[in-house]
Structure 1
């Protein structure tokens, strides 16, 4: 073979190799595009399924937003969303923000919740509660709203019943994991209520829980949290005279740590 023929053969071989590589690159690109498209379709299908499920779960609460607003006894303010408890002669008020499904709120209540109740009983300050329901959106479900509605039923009985029932729901024995929506079940809420003397076998309370008497009120309370003027976006949060309390070792301060933080705020 002449030198020229040998060079032509090499050029032809290189050209064939170039063409083959380009063809393979195009195949690989199409394969990647198909893979991404398939993943997007799968994600959209899953999202659509989740969206449908959430829509289904939220349908009763959509109806509640248009339902009659029944304000619990012992509530006050616009739409009954002010829950103020304690000695009216107390000079200051501690504003507490919580969500019933919130694990950090449960940790606080289990460590220093009893101390807060003692402070209020001793007249150190009044306590005002604003309850959120954002975990229902974040983790999906309706337990925050349902438990808040049940708290409304407890408040309708008495302020003490509200405090004791909230404390029982947050207890280590009764508070479910955030991913579980046990508070969405009326039976679960009623079982816990048996631990509160004022609610045990209380027919009016049970009927209000089962019929969702205070569902609309729970939604109004949730909106109050969303629009709060203290700039609170998470729970638990504590505000006195417009200033957020800096409590050590949150979300589970010792009784002494919580007391020190509160006393420092009271002295200002």
Structure 2
């Protein structure tokens, strides 16, 4: 491998680590702001307005997820909260927690997508995707929820994997809640052959799986995971060690070894 290629891969890993650190910092700042607002309460109008705005967003999300939990076709795992990719007979299982608005998740997908899809296609790796709505809580809005629902609607149509990939390829900037627009989600679905049908559009517009997505996010919170993306190989966190960073080559080697 040339020095230029090594430097490029190192830079990509550093950017991914930096984005995760920035997300953690945003989470920490948001918690601090909410605590401060609760303490000073009536002492400042700005604090009161901030709390009211946050509560209004929570009320809207509660309404969006108030319907029955509709489990998507083929969902598996505990509580049927994961979307599987690959064969059950694969000797390795990759568990991935993601948020479609999460910039670090996009960087992970851009770096590892081809490796993961190739290993799954070869029957060497099963992937369990779990969806979270962390950025909706951090930044406000409902794009994480709506995008996750649309992805699960694509699962009903047997096209989760390609639509999942298109959502990350077309991810808006983090502060931009563009994925809250169902028309945009349906437009992106047009990039996946045969996905845009009347049942798919109805599923997206009705928020058919919103409550299931909310249940998935609750599982994310209960698991006390450090953030998104969280990546586990056969139950072991392989993505959080900055002293021994994961690379596509390392992931491939680990899966190939398990399949020997």
Shorter-chain TM range is 0.7 to 0.9
Q: Distance in 2 between matches of 1:179 and 1:46?
A: 21
Choose which of 236, 239, 264 in structure 1 pairs with 2:232: 239
Aligned to 1:164: 162
Q: Distance in 1 between matches of 2:165 and 2:246?
A: 16
Using a 3 Å threshold, how does the CA distance of structure 1 residues 238 and 78 change in structure 2: closer, same or farther? closer
Indicate whether 1:221 and 2:220 are aligned: no
Q: Distance in 2 between matches of 1:153 and 1:43?
A: 46
Compute the RMSD of aligned alpha carbons: 2.7
- The residue correspondences of 1:1-268 to structure 2 (distance < 5 A) are 44-158=44-158, 161-171=159-169, 174-199=170-195, 201-228=196-223, 232-246=225-239, 255-260=248-253, 262-263=255-256, 266=258
Q: Distance in 2 between matches of 1:226 and 1:83?
A: 18
Q: Distance in 2 between matches of 1:243 and 1:178?
A: 29
Structure 1 counterpart SS, 2:44: helix
Using a 3 Å threshold, how does the CA distance of structure 1 residues 94 and 185 change in structure 2: closer, same or farther? same
Post-superposition Cα deviations, 1:206-264, rounded to whole Å, max 9, x if no partner, equal 11111111110110111111123xx53212121122211148989x9764354245446
TM-score of the two chains, using structure 2 as the length reference: 0.75
The gaps in structure 1 that reach 5 residues or longer are 1-39
Deviation at 1:113, TM superposition (A): 0.9
Post-superposition Cα deviations, 1:17-62, rounded to whole Å, max 9, x if no partner, equal xxxxxxxxxxxxxxxxxxxxxxx79983223323333333333321
Kindly indicate whether the alpha-carbon contact (under 8 Å) linking 2:136 and 2:143 is maintained by their aligned counterparts in 1.
yes
Kindly indicate whether the alpha-carbon contact (under 8 Å) linking 2:147 and 2:180 is maintained by their aligned counterparts in 1.
yes
Aligned to 2:27: none
Q: Distance in 2 between matches of 1:239 and 1:138?
A: 24
Q: Distance in 1 between matches of 2:208 and 2:237?
A: 33
Using a 3 Å threshold, how does the CA distance of structure 1 residues 73 and 43 change in structure 2: closer, same or farther? farther
Deviation at 1:143, TM superposition (A): 1.1
Structure 2 counterpart SS, 1:120: helix
TM-score of the two chains, using structure 1 as the length reference: 0.73
Aligned to 1:14: none
Using a 3 Å threshold, how does the CA distance of structure 1 residues 213 and 181 change in structure 2: closer, same or farther? same
Q: Distance in 2 between matches of 1:77 and 1:261?
A: 23
Q: Distance in 1 between matches of 2:141 and 2:248?
A: 33
Using a 3 Å threshold, how does the CA distance of structure 1 residues 267 and 121 change in structure 2: closer, same or farther? closer
State the number of aligned residues: 220
